[in-house]
Structures are given as C-alpha cells and as structure tokens.
Structure 1
Amino acid sequence: MPSPSVTPSPRADRTPERRASSSGPGSAPPGKTYAENGPGTFVWASSTSGRAGWSGKLVRYGVKVEDGTGLDPGSVAAEIDSVFRDRRSWTGQGVASFQHVSAPPYDMVVQIVSPGTADRLCGSWGLNTGGELNCANAPNLIVNVRRWVELSDQYRDRPYEYHALIINHEAGHVLGYGHRGCPGPGKPAPAMMQQIKGLHGCVANPWVYSASGTFLDGPRLP
C-alpha cells in the first residue's frame, strides 16, 4: 500500500467569456457561459455525506463554487462524493477516507473558480496556471472551471472520467503525493501524472488503483 512520500506543497497542474462545450454531472448546461474573471464570491454546497471508505486518514472536505461559473454546488459535490466512493480512488486500499461537510472544520476544500480567480489564488502561492490549469495548496484544491467544463484533449466526451482525474490528482497532493511520470508505453497513466501535458505513451486513466486493486504508479518527478 502506498504511503505519502513528500510533505504537501503547492502544486500546479499547468480572453473574453468562453462558452461551455460539454455537459454531464456537475457541468454547466450546454450553451452556458462562464465568466473569465469571477467576482471572488462563493456558494457552499450545503449537502453532507457519510464517510466514503472506513480506514486510513479521514479527510473532511468542503465544496464551494464561485459565482459566475454556471455550476450547481450540490451537483458538483454529489459528483465528487461519487468519485471518492469508487474503490479505484484513494479510498480503495485504505489510504484515506473522505466525508463531505458543509462548513468548517475541514481538512480540504474543493473550490471551482473562474480562470482569473484560479490564476490569482494559485499565483499567490507562487504557481503559474496561465488561465488553464488547476492547483493545490493544502487544504485548498483550486479547480479551474475551464477544465471542469471544457475537459482536456485526452478526455474528450468523457466528463465524469476527467472530473475524477482532477479530484483524484489534486486530493493526492493534499495527501502528500507528488507528480509521477508514465511507467511505460500502453500502461495506464497514474492519476498523479500531469496528463493534460501529454500521455507520453501511456493510456489516459483517472483512477488511483486498477479494478483489481493495484496502485497505478510511475517514476517520481521533481
């Protein structure tokens, strides 16, 4: 079973309004626009969930969505909860368990924000997200709404899987895991690989573990 190898540190997973081009649970409806620079005000998901996974470190997490993103906080929270309940996520082999809470105290907070707000928040931690990327600086997971809605080239027409990758990857940083590389041609890309920057011969994969419970790892990167 893998264990955290680094102390959590800030990580980046490196125009006019954009029009949403995909749909799915937690996504903006087709044709909905999101603001390039949001107002910095948020709506918290008021729902809660039971504990996903029953062993390992308990991570209590909140979800909040910036005004102007066009997303429903409750739908986003339900989708994130379903990711953590999948045994291919971090809950699979007892590394961690997750519970959605509606208010502090929490160990992690998922924030879906406009590209401009992502740049401002991530930039305050010394990270350059360029209007495109997500970042994590425990306890904060900053998800650029552009990625959540428009996905990436590796996950076209696969919104749920790409959302699972975003959540598993950034939660991994909060748990103490750094970036990984491709373990070999044709093999599943680790969830901790920056897949948006290219698969380098690997196959796109959003999950931490395989269906059989194998940890999908790769070479450590700086």
Structure 2
Amino acid sequence: MRIRRKISLTLAIMVALITVACSQTGDAAQKAASKPDLTGTVIQPAPATPPPPPPLPTGGNGSFAVAAGGGPVIGTGQRRIRYRVEMENGIRFGDNVEWTAVDFAGRVDRILAEPLGWTLSAKHPVTNGPVGLNNASWSFQRTAGGDFDVQVRLATAATVQRLCAAVGLDVESVYSCRFGKTLMINLTRWLNGADGYPVGLDDYRSAVINHEMGHFLGFDHMRCTGPGKPGPIMMTQTIDLQGCTPNVHPFLPDGTFPTGAFVRS
C-alpha cells in the first residue's frame, strides 16, 4: 500500500509539473504572438522642437545711411521713377541676419526688375480712371543723390511707427507705410515675413516693395477681385485675403493687372 501511495504521489507531482510547463509555454507563445514584428522597422526619433526665433533687432536712431552708387535703368516704361535706398543707422541685429544699405538696395533693385513687376507695364500699359491713369507705364533707376522721386527706407518697427504716425498713419508697429515720397519698410517683417500670410520670405519682400511702390504710383488699397482669384497687389493681403489667393506681383503671367474696388485707407 505504501509503494502504491508513493507511486501515485510521484505521478501526481509529474502531472502537475507538466501542466505548469505547458501553461508557461502557452503564455509565452501567446505573448510572442501579440508582440508586433519590428523586423526591418526603422524607429524615427521624435521631432526636435524648433529653436525660438532670434530676438527682434533693437536700437535704430532715426537717421539713415544712403546706399552708395546708382544703377542702370530698369525697364522701358515711359515714366522713369528715380528711387533712393536707405537703411536706418544704429540697429543692433543680435542673432538676426544683418542687413546693410547696400544689401537692401540690391534686393530692391532685383524686386523692381522682376518679370511680373511694375516694369511689365511697358508691354501692358495700365489704364485706371479712379487714379487718373491712361496707358501708364513705368521704368526705374536707383540714385544715391538728392535727385530722387521716392526714397525706400528699411527701419526698425519703432522708427516706422513714429514716422508714419507723424503723418496720421498708425501702423501699430507692425506694418509698413508710404507718405509723400517716402516708403517705410518695417524691418521686423522684412526679416521674418508676415504671420499667417502663406508665402515664402522672398515673396513677402517682393509683395511689400511692390505694394508700397504702388501707393507712390497713385494706387489706394483694393478689394479681392473674386473668390479663388489672385489678389491685386494693392490688397492688404497680409491682413485678409478675402477669398483671393496670394499674389506678390502687380501683374499676372498673361499680362493682366488685377484691379479690385478701391478702399480708402
């Protein structure tokens, strides 16, 4: 009887061990089956947080340096516009890209020479009754002397605000402006573009120069020409596209000069 009991006890222990082993093997197989197969998978690192933009330029003493030298005539339009380019003195750029009067002048020259810029008026003259234009066309030439028709100035936001506000134009230290024969270009936006305006920085720079030059040529602000259509250059596109698509040039590739209803500003 004792031998049978020993044999029964031994058999029971063996059965228990086999059951536990099978259970553990089954659990391991189930866990392995539930694990995703990452063979050949490349684990991408988490995207890095973009660095904050550099602090805005400070300083600016309200005096201006004139870009030396002149330039060739740009375009063949009938009315020649002599423009002088200037940069505010005393600007501390910090970590921002530093601009000089010569740098700014070179960029203005290139913008005015762009194929869809104001010089295309030589091939597609502009007629616009509200501003008294009849087959108008323009060419441009940079000068460094006092014989200019318009001066294009790049300045800190504070200086732009002060000079524009002095003639009744509150640009909220954000926008650029034109008064008389002066175009004031806001340095903050020149460096960073306009928040929410879906164009690259180079296109933004074309837009602001073309827009402010358009004011000098006699145009006031315009409304959108229709949903989905390219906005007139004289729209305040950086504030509200009004359903239009961004357009940073006065002319379209087919020579059309988009013109919407005027808005007094």
Q: TM-score, normalised by structure 1?
A: 0.82
Distance 1:91 1:127, change over 3 A: same
Using the alignment, how far apart are the partners of 1:156 and 1:177 within structure 2? 24
Using the alignment, how far apart are the partners of 2:189 and 2:69 within structure 1? 24
Contact map agreement 2:199 2:246 (CA 8 A) in 1: no
Using the alignment, how far apart are the partners of 1:46 and 1:64 within structure 2? 9
Counterpart in the other structure of 1:127: 169
Contact map agreement 1:165 1:191 (CA 8 A) in 2: yes
- 1:44 maps to which of 59, 66, 71: 66
Distance 1:176 1:76, change over 3 A: same
Counterpart in the other structure of 1:111: 153
- 2:117 maps to which of 86, 89, 113: 89
Using the alignment, how far apart are the partners of 1:115 and 1:156 within structure 2? 22
- 1:34 maps to which of 50, 53, 57: 57
Q: How far off its partner does 1:56 sit?
A: 2.2
- 1:61 maps to which of 66, 70, 83: 83
Q: How far off its partner does 1:153 sit?
A: 2.7
Counterpart in the other structure of 1:77: 105
- Look up the SS of the partner of 1:53 in the other structure: coil
Higher helix share: 2
Counterpart in the other structure of 1:148: 190
Q: What are the Cα deviations for residues 23-77 of structure 1, in whole angstroms up to 9, with x where unaligned?
A: xxxxxxxx47511x52112221113211111122111001111120631211211
Distance 1:119 1:136, change over 3 A: same
Using the alignment, how far apart are the partners of 1:90 and 1:187 within structure 2? 20
Using the alignment, how far apart are the partners of 2:257 and 2:56 within structure 1? 38
Larger radius of gyration: 2
Using the alignment, how far apart are the partners of 1:119 and 1:179 within structure 2? 19
| Alignment of 1:207 onto 2:249 | yes
What stretches of structure 1 of length at least 5 have no aligned partner?
A: 1-19, 22-30
Q: How far off its partner does 1:155 sit?
A: 4.2
Q: What are the Cα deviations for residues 172-205 of structure 1, in whole angstroms up to 9, with x where unaligned?
A: 1111111101111111111100111110111111
Counterpart in the other structure of 2:230: 188
Percent of paired sites with the same residue: 31
Runs of 4+ in structure 1 off by over 6 angstroms are none
Q: Which residue type is aligned with residue 162 of structure 2?
A: R
Q: How far off its partner does 1:105 sit?
A: 0.9
Q: TM-score, normalised by structure 2?
A: 0.69
Q: How far off its partner does 1:111 sit?
A: 0.5
Using the alignment, how far apart are the partners of 1:159 and 1:48 within structure 2? 26
- Look up the SS of the partner of 2:140 in the other structure: strand
Q: Which residue type is aligned with residue 136 of structure 1?
A: R
Counterpart in the other structure of 1:6: none
Contact map agreement 1:111 1:141 (CA 8 A) in 2: yes
Distance 1:157 1:181, change over 3 A: closer
Counterpart in the other structure of 2:26: none
Q: Which residue type is aligned with residue 47 of structure 1?
A: G
Higher relative contact order (CA 8 A, sep 6+): 1
Counterpart in the other structure of 2:5: none
